[in-house]
């Protein structure tokens, strides 16, 4: 028996493998991108030499994430029978970048016995979203500077804030989705735009969004109409110049009324809306103020107004009045808090000057009429009311005390003989102007005239060109002696005399009206 020992040597061949190294960069500047996640998938069944299955078609064999250098590597990938094909798919892009939706094909092929590991390098770049946001005028062509804008994401969180310039503002790296743009403060001469929403698409192409601002142009109107009073002096007749068209009042105590209507004819709201009734006839002592029935308005934002009065001689009491509808009505306008507006208008932020005016009643309802009588003021015997003012704060576009649109365009709107048969006829309508009740005095004669004027002042964002509006309306009536011209039987001769006598007074009155000082 041969007992010679036998030595057995075993040799093992390690199967060659491959790896895929991915380099991830910014598509624009080439910088390295961390945080990109990739899946390595078998593009078909990968079969080992012994016939076993290393990976099935579509099976994910590795998941890797790029590091700060922008690199990631999948090791120990089987080569199958000599060549294995893999698919590289990005499943998650770095924050702020778009997902690369390309399926990259990588073939790993056995080289030789001296190459245990076959390596493939794959360069992948990610683009990102870019959106240019413009603030433009109504034409859409001119960039509007000075608007404070804020961009909000799909979850309503603030993403970016800026002030518009003469160029679009670019925002990059937004995830695709729905965003909203809000104007926090418009330029002073433009209206605040409504919030807009827009979609950011999944593309690296530059997208554009434009928010339009409409320029502000403030407009307002006032309309004053009068009843025809019967003079209290015996032997005098109304309609001294023959131009009045209303019927004379039948009472003999000199009572008459007139109406004041006003509206905001702008396409936007205003901060300040003020109606002032200058009672020239009271200052001239041809009539006395009796009472006022306050207007019922449509479009007043807080439903309240303040009523003021002025006297002759000027009353020195109540110098510091607390009421201010512009600042106290609850509406918000950041321009009223700006240094620019306060330097122009003062701390009270009102365009209209209140020097010499006294608060009669604050927080008067604008949805129902309130009657205020002069006797309530308990004035001294030598003191008379020579002005009434109704102060509104912010009012909406379309604010009016008279809803009949056609009545605002009639031919005689500014006729000084704009007469009414009965001021009370406006009662019961959904909106109605102020009704001012007066009483003619014995000073109303052919040598004088009953003159009354009213004005409305509107202001937005501190006023200025197209940010404020002023309108005036006046009425006048004269009386005469009951004498007829010979051979005509129509126009009283005294009417001609009266017109001559009162024309100088009327001229002085118009000169005074034009010279009313404004606060600015």
| Cβ atoms within 10 Å of 400's Cβ, excluding its own | 22
pLDDT of res. 269:
98
Tokens of 314: 């000027």
Taking the CA atoms of 352, 296, 227 and 421 in sequence, report the sign of the dihedral they define. Answer: positive
- Residue 84 main-chain phi, psi, to 5 deg: -125, 135
The structure tokens listed for 486 are: 């010979």
Please state which of the four CATH numbers 1.10.287.3510, 1.10.1740.10, 2.40.50.140, 2.60.40.10 is assigned to the domain occupying 17-126. 2.60.40.10
Helix spans in 177-308 (H):
280-283
CB 310 within 8 Å of CB 358: yes
- 130-213 sits in which CATH class? mainly beta
Q: Hey, how many other C-beta atoms are within 10 angstroms of the C-beta on 146? A: 15
**Token pair 């979609």: residue:** 199
| 246, 385 contact by CB (below 8 A) | no
Q: Coil, helix or strand for 459? A: strand
Per residue of the chain (520 residues), give pLDDT as tens. 566 666 655 445 568 899 999 999 999 999 999 999 999 999 999 999 999 999 999 999 999 999 999 999 999 999 999 999 999 999 999 999 999 999 999 999 998 887 889 999 999 999 999 999 999 998 888 999 999 999 999 999 999 999 999 999 999 999 999 999 999 999 999 999 999 999 999 999 999 999 999 999 999 999 999 999 999 998 899 998 889 888 888 888 999 999 999 999 999 999 999 999 999 999 999 999 999 999 999 999 999 999 999 999 876 554 456 899 999 999 999 999 999 999 999 999 999 999 999 999 999 999 999 999 999 999 999 999 999 999 999 999 999 999 999 999 999 999 999 999 999 887 777 899 999 999 999 999 999 999 999 999 999 999 999 999 999 999 999 999 986 434 333 444 444 444 444 444 444 444 444 444 445 4
Residue tagged 């778009």 (tokens): 98
* Whole-angstrom distance, CA of residue 239 vs CA of residue 268: 41
Name the pairing type of β-strands 17-26 and 117-126: parallel
In angstroms, what is the C-alpha Rg of the chain? 42
Count CB neighbours of 501 within 10 A.
Answer: 17
CA distances from 227 to 160, 429, 435, 477 (A): 61, 19, 11, 9
Sign of CA dihedral 465, 467, 468, 469: positive
**Which DSSP string do the residues of 9-45 spell out, in sequence order?**
----PPPPEEEEEEEEEETTT--B----EEEEEESS-
Give the three-class secondary structure for 487: coil
Q: Check if the beta carbon of residue 281 is closer than 8 Å to that of residue 452.
A: yes
């Amino acid at each position: 028996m041969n007992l010679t020992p036998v030595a057995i040597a075993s040799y093992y061949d390690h199967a060659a493998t491959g790896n895929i190294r991915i380099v991830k960069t910014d598509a624009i500047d080439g910088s390295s991108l961390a945080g990109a996640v990739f899946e390595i998938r078998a593009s078909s069944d990968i079969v080992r030499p012994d016939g076993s299955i290393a990976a099935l078609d579509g099976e994910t064999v590795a998941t890797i994430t790029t590091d700060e250098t922008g690199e990631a590597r999948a090791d120990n990938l089987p080569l199958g029978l000599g060549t294995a094909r893999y698919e590289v798919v990005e499943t998650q892009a770095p924050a702020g970048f778009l997902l690369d939706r390309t399926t990259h094909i990588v073939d790993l092929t056995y080289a030789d016995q001296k190459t245990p590991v076959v390596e493939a390098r794959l360069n992948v770049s990610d683009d990102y979203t870019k959106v240019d946001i413009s603030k433009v005028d109504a034409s859409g062509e001119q960039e509007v500077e000075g608007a404070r804008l804020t961009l909000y994401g799909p979850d309503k969180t603030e993403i970016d804030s800026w002030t518009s310039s003469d160029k679009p503002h670019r925002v990059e790296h937004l995830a695709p989705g729905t965003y909203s743009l809000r104007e926090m403060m418009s330029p002073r001469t433009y209206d605040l735009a409504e919030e807009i929403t827009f979609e950011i698409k999944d593309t690296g192409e530059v997208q554009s969004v434009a928010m339009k601002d409409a320029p502000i142009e403030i407009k307002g109107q006032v309309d004053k109409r009068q009843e025809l009073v019967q003079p209290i002096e015996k032997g005098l007749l109304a309609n001294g110049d023959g131009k009045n068209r209303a019927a004379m009042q039948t009472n003999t105590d000199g009572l008459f009324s007139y109406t004041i209507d006003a509206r905001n004819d702008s396409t936007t709201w205003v901060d300040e809306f003020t109606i002032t009734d200058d009672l020239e006839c009271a200052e001239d002592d041809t009539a006395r103020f009796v009472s006022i029935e306050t207007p019922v308005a449509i479009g007043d934002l807080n439903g309240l107004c303040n009523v003021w009065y002025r006297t002759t001689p000027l009353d020195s009491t109540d110098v510091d009045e607390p009421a201010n509808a512009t600042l106290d009505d609850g509406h918000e306008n950041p321009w009223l808090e700006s240094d620019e507006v306060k330097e122009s208008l003062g701390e009270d932020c009102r365009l209209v000057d209140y020097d010499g005016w006294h608060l009669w009643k604050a927080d008067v309802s604008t949805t129902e009429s309130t009657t205020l009588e002069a006797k309530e003021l308990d004035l001294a015997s030598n003191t008379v009311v020579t002005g009434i003012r109704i102060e509104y704060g912010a009012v909406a576009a379309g604010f009016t005390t008279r809803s009949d649109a056609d009545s605002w365009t009639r031919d005689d709107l500014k006729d000084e003989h704009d007469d009414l048969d009965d001021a009370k006829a406006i009662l019961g309508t959904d909106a109605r102007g102020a009704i001012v009740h007066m009483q003619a005095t014995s000073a109303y004669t052919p040598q004088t005239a009953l003159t009354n004027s009213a004005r409305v002042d509107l202001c937005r964002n501190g006023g200025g060109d197209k940010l404020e509006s002023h309108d005036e309306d006046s009425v006048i009536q004269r009386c005469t002696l009951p004498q007829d011209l010979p051979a005509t039987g129509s126009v009283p001769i005294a009417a001609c005399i009266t017109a001559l006598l009162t024309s100088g007074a009327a001229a002085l009155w118009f000169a005074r009206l034009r010279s009313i000082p404004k606060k600015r």
